Amino acid sequence: MILPPDEKLTQDGLAPTAAPSDGRVLLIACGALAREILDLKDANGWEHMALTCLPAILHARPEKIVPAVRAAVDKHRGDYARIYVVYADCGTGGLLEAACAEMGVEMVKGPHCYAFFEGNDRFAERAGDEVTAFYLTDFLVRQFDAFVWRPLGLDRYPQLRDTYFAHYEKLVYQAQTDDPALTDLARAHADRLGLAFERRVTGYGDLAVTLSDWAARR
């Protein structure tokens, strides 16, 4: 399928990629993961899995994630054999986990996508040494202005940069794909924020493991 542009995934999300049918599973995901999930789906031939995404910009408003996920599960649960939620905690402070448990749906383990892309265990091991790291994924590198620059008001008030980032030391670009242009863009973002730059290849990390597990449960 043709993926909508990132701007649309940010603001609107993605309608279900396949109509309900017998045994079809629905993944309700953050729009920031659409590309990666569809890539895994195509590569592994998970035809029985449909994907729908909530607007990725909810990343910046975690208090809106739980109601949005609840609404999506309620809307689709009668139509699909099973539903999985492709969010980690994502700043909901445990509320998404509680809501998923209550609704009887599984979600991705971990605190956020930075952790599961890198691998939750590995991320946790590094956490103590990386307190001053600011993470970007492929999607966030492409959507940097929408998720970082503009919401922080840096387009209007560049003098606030150091108020936000004074305690950060480096920008870690967690690369899901090998794209030199994206790496250059990530490096430019690091420069704009006045941070050192590190590129770290993560691939899809625990996202691939989790989806494989779900896909296998026919």
Partner 1 sequence: MADEEDEIVLSELDDEELVQQMYDDLYDGLKEEIEESVHILLDRGWEPYKILTEALVGGMTIVGKDFRDGILFVPEVLLAANAMKGGMFILKPLLAETGAPTIGRMVIGTVKGDIHDIGQNLVTMMMEGAGFEVMNIGINNPVENYVEAVKEFDADILGMSALLTTTMPYMKVVIDAMKEQGIRDDYIILVGGAPLNEEFGKAIGADAYCRDAAVAVDTAKDFMARKHNQMAAGT
Half-sphere exposure of 197 (CA within 13 A, CB side): 15
Binding segment for partner 1 among 26-34, 49-57, 91-99, 197-205 (CB under 8 A)? 91-99
Closest distance of CB 98 from partner 1, Å? 8
Regarding 168 and contact with partner 1 (CB under 8 A), the answer is yes
Element housing 172 (H / E): strand 170-175
Closest distance of CB 207 from partner 1, Å? 18
23 versus 93: smaller Cβ distance to partner 1? 93
29 versus 96: smaller Cβ distance to partner 1? 96
132 versus 212: smaller Cβ distance to partner 1? 132
Residues β-bridged to residue 29: 53, 86
Q: List the one residue from 41, 112, 142, 189 that touches partner 1 (CB under 8 A).
A: 112
65 versus 207: smaller Cβ distance to partner 1? 65
Regarding 129 and contact with partner 1 (CB under 8 A), the answer is no
The two tokens of residue 137 are: 């994924």
Q: Which are the contacts of 205, defined by CB distance < 8 A and separation ≥ 6? A: 116, 117, 118, 119
Instruction: Classify residue 21 as left (phi > 0), alpha (psi -120 to 50) or beta.
Output: beta
